[in-house]
Amino acid sequence: ALRGRHHQEHPRTQMAHALPSLTYDYAALEPFVDATTMNIHHTKHHQAYINNLNTALDKHSELKSLSLEELNIKVTTLPEDVRTAIRNNGGGHWNHTMFWKWMAPVGSVNHAPIGSLKAAIDKDFGSFDVLKEKFNAAAAARFGSGWAWLGVKEDGSLGITSTPNQDNPMMDGVADVKMTPILGLDVWEHAYYLKYQNRRADYLASWWNIVNFDTVVELYDAQAKK
Amino acid sequence: QQRLVFIATMTCTTFQCIQLLALLSVCKAQVFTLAPLPYAYNALEPTIDTETMQLHHDKHHAAYLTTLNAAMATMSQNESAKYLTNLTAENLVRRISEVPSGVYTSVRNGGGGFVNHNLFWNCMTPGGSALNLSCEFTINYQIFLQMHSQQSFTMRAAPLGSRILSQWTSLEAFKKDFNDSATKVFGSGWAWLVADSANAFRLSVMSTPNQDSPWMQAGLVPLLALDVWEHAYYLKYRNVRATYVTAWWGVVNWTGVEQRYALALGSPTLPTVAPNLITRSSGADRPRPALALLLLAAAAAAAMGP
């Protein structure tokens, strides 16, 4: 029976990637991230990565059975004619899908680590303040476009790194430091320029007010189980 | 007499001070400075908004310079690297492979950013200036004599324009190439028109990431540069880089690009007009050297007298 536009005729083929909805309004992160930026960032930049990713996957339909995460991890093994496009746009899609979940309106979630994540942060960095300092340093030092990351390294400890453009630490053979990201911050200028202009440091300082540590804790705990 | 002694003492001390200062300035590293924009901040409106010009020059460009000057200070303390601090900024970037590893990134990013933006401001001018595409050329008498005395010579009429036409067929085709390059840069970077001094100054379009540049590749001469870092266009154009790139042609200073090309070719600044020695092409813009030569020969013969 037909069940509307989401009815799949070929179960093995995954549906094209689509823009995930935010769980909050564009204005909900004000005054730390402005509404216009959230709107353009979501509907234009993220959408463009998705469109370009779908176009690349159309050239190699066998890749459509891979999850977005797998596409990122295995990016260096992908066919050469789509490798860069998938690295840039598959990376962009994953990074931004997570980014929206790593933020939440003030007061709606924990904005500081709790539980086993807090213990891990205290152990690996000394304190949450030191973590923020090091994370901000990595974010400030990323020259050009890129992301700063907090992640779980292969030995289970926490690490901080940054990557250029739309790379991320999951990408085998690409990232300097291989980690499973549990928190990421977009430092492309489009993420902050309308409100902060050249003052990336101000953006970094503000951003911590809206970090959704419930998501971070969830990701950490899931990783700790593995 | 006491006053004279006092004055003599003060003069000698001052002279010693001056000597010391002179010595110090020789030992100190060259400090680069930020030149003001060649036009007002609002002069490129509406193509580039005033606020962007202010931020771009006073904050971004200034920050690259700060990074570069810090690297310069470090290198000046290093006996084997000190010589690098006497180079122009462009030559320093050209010779980046000689820079000590500890300051390599600063020179690449800060030095690169400094020279790229120096060029960028000069690639633009209020209202833009047109590229000379016609084969109308100008020549002055001295150059004519020089050329006339050789068995064969190359007419260098509108050298940049004619080179672009010969390589791309049309200015539109060139712009399309350039625009493609500019819009396709992923992340931050620049699009360039360059001439390859190792290959008969053949022109090509290229792009570089972050603050890298053609100066870093042996033999390349940057002629025209477009900044496609988001800070260059985001306040006005938001995510639509393609619109910025297309609009930018309206402020391009082609005269400056032509001069840069002429300099690279080794010719003096394009000579000034001698009206009776100008030939005009008719109909399609195709060079007609034979006719031009005839006219020039006639004019020269007349000028030389009996």
User: B235 and A193: CB-CB below 8 Å?
Assistant: yes
Question: In whole angstroms, what is the distance from residue B36 CA to residue B202 CA?
Answer: 32
**What is the per-residue pLDDT across B56-79, written as a single tens digit (0 to 9) for each?**
999 999 999 999 999 999 999 999
Task: Determine the average pLDDT of the residues in B207-233.
Answer: 97
Mean predicted lDDT score pLDDT of chain B: 82
Per the DSSP assignment, residues forming a β-bridge with B205 are B193
Residue A82 tokens, joined: 């789509």
Three-state SS at A164: strand
Burial (CB count <10 Å: 0-12, 13-18, 19+), residue A82: buried
Is the pLDDT confidence value at A224 over 60? Answer: yes
Single pTM value for the model: 0.84
Contacts of A100 (CB under 8 A, 6+ apart): A20, A22, A23, A42
A188 interaction partners in chain B (CB closer than 8 Å)? 187, 230
Q: Please tell me the predicted confidence (pLDDT) of residue B276.
A: 40
- Percent of chain A clearing pLDDT 90 (strictly above): 92
A88 interaction partners in chain B (CB closer than 8 Å)? 186
Q: Please tell me the predicted confidence (pLDDT) of residue B277.
A: 40
**B31-36: long-range contacts (C-beta < 8 A, 24 or more apart)?**
B31/B69, B31/B72, B32/B65, B32/B68, B32/B69, B32/B72, B32/B89, B32/B114, B33/B65, B34/B61, B34/B62, B34/B65, B35/B118, B35/B121
Mean predicted lDDT score pLDDT of chain A: 94
B111 interaction partners in chain A (CB closer than 8 Å)? none
Per the DSSP assignment, residues forming a β-bridge with B137 are B279
Task: Determine the average pLDDT of the residues in A173-188.
Answer: 96
Q: Which residue has the tokens 């709107």?
A: A39
Q: Please tell me the predicted confidence (pLDDT) of residue B133.
A: 85
Question: In whole angstroms, what is the distance from residue B192 CA to residue B207 CA?
Answer: 6
Question: In whole angstroms, what is the distance from residue A218 CA to residue A109 CA?
Answer: 12
Which has the higher per-residue pLDDT, A6 or A225?
Answer: A225
Task: Determine the average pLDDT of the residues in A189-212.
Answer: 98
**What is the per-residue pLDDT across B108-143, written as a single tens digit (0 to 9) for each?**
999 999 999 999 999 999 999 999 987 554 445 555
Chain Cα centroid distance, residue B157 = 21
Q: Please tell me the predicted confidence (pLDDT) of residue B302.
A: 55
Could you say which DSSP state residue B230 is in? G
Q: What are phi and psi of B88, to 5 degrees?
A: -70, 160
Is the pLDDT confidence value at B267 over 80? Answer: no
Question: In whole angstroms, what is the distance from residue A105 CA to residue B265 CA?
Answer: 60
Q: Please tell me the predicted confidence (pLDDT) of residue A73.
A: 98
Which has the higher per-residue pLDDT, B27 or A189?
Answer: A189
Task: Determine the average pLDDT of the residues in A61-84.
Answer: 97
Closest approach of B126 to chain A, Cα-based (Å)? 24
Would you tell me which residues 32-51 of chain A have a C-beta closer than 8 angstroms to some C-beta of chain B?
40, 44-45, 48
Identity at A45, one-letter amino acid code: H
Mutate to test the interface with B, among A40, A42, A43, A189 (most CBs of B within 10 A): A189
Q: Please tell me the predicted confidence (pLDDT) of residue B272.
A: 37
Q: What are phi and psi of B195, to 5 degrees?
A: -115, 140
B238 interaction partners in chain A (CB closer than 8 Å)? 40, 44, 190
**What is the per-residue pLDDT across A127-152, written as a single tens digit (0 to 9) for each?**
999 999 999 999 999 999 999 999 99
Nearest CA in chain B to A40: B239
Is the pLDDT confidence value at B278 over 50? Answer: no
Q: Please tell me the predicted confidence (pLDDT) of residue A71.
A: 98
Angle between helices B159-168 and B254-265 (to 10 degrees): 90
Question: In whole angstroms, what is the distance from residue A31 CA to residue A33 CA?
Answer: 6
Mutate to test the interface with B, among A87, A193, A194, A202 (most CBs of B within 10 A): A193
SS (H, E, C) B71-94: HHHHHHCCCCCHHHHHCCHHHHHH
Contacts of A84 (CB under 8 A, 6+ apart): none
Residue B115 tokens, joined: 């020279």
Mutate to test the interface with B, among A34, A83, A196, A197 (most CBs of B within 10 A): A197
Per the DSSP assignment, residues forming a β-bridge with B196 are B202, B220
| B220-227: strand order across its sheet | B202-209, B189-196, B220-227
Identity at B22, one-letter amino acid code: A
Q: Please tell me the predicted confidence (pLDDT) of residue A137.
A: 98
Burial (CB count <10 Å: 0-12, 13-18, 19+), residue B104: middle
Number of inter-chain CB pairs under 8 A, A vs B: 53
Task: Determine the average pLDDT of the residues in B151-158.
Answer: 48
Q: Please tell me the predicted confidence (pLDDT) of residue B147.
A: 56
Question: In whole angstroms, what is the distance from residue B191 CA to residue B152 CA?
Answer: 37
Closest approach of B27 to chain A, Cα-based (Å)? 31
- Percent of chain B clearing pLDDT 90 (strictly above): 66
Indicate the Cα dihedral angle B190, B128, B60, A96, nearest 10°: -50
**What is the per-residue pLDDT across B171-196, written as a single tens digit (0 to 9) for each?**
999 999 999 999 999 999 999 999 99
A147 interaction partners in chain B (CB closer than 8 Å)? none
Identity at A146, one-letter amino acid code: G
Task: Determine the average pLDDT of the residues in A19-26.
Answer: 98
Least confident of A44-58, A177-191, B22-36, B277-291: B277-291
CA-based end-to-end distance of chain A: 40
Q: Which residue has the tokens 């353009």?
A: A40
Burial (CB count <10 Å: 0-12, 13-18, 19+), residue B141: middle
Closest approach of B84 to chain A, Cα-based (Å)? 24
pLDDT band at B30 (very low <50, low <70, confident <90, very high): confident
Q: Please tell me the predicted confidence (pLDDT) of residue A225.
A: 86
Three-state SS at B192: strand
Which secondary structure element, helix H or strand E, spans residue B221, and what is its range?
strand B220-227
pLDDT band at A15 (very low <50, low <70, confident <90, very high): confident
